[in-house]
Amino acid sequence: MAISHVTDETFNAEIKEGLVLVDFWAPWCGPCKMIAPVLEEIDGEIVDKVRIIKLNVDENSETVRKFDVMSIPTLMLFKDGEVVDQVIGFQPKEALTELISKHV
């Protein structure tokens, strides 16, 4: 399953069921560009355990404010609509896989 991009309007529907990793990012953000291929790789390997979605912080300020996102990339892990974990900044694949595995 491919990583999908969400908006303020679609965000709540996307996180309400199951385990969802949200990448809060922006096109101009260097670390965001570095983490994108890591997320693609994880998505291809554990697609049955977690869905990965991306939210552009420049275009979706309502959701950014709601979750107090101050730095990017911010990765929030949601389980059935509730935040269960969060990391900020570039993370290696192993760290993200471990983060997800704690909540599967």
Q: Is 32 one of the annotated active-site residues of the chain?
A: yes
Residue 104 tokens, joined: 């599967």
Q: Is 76 one of the annotated active-site residues of the chain?
A: no
Sign of CA dihedral 53, 56, 59, 63: positive
The residue from 5, 8, 10, 29 that is catalytic is: 29
The residue from 19, 21, 32, 57 that is catalytic is: 32
> Tokens 């979605």 appear where?
53
Catalytic residue annotation: 29, 32
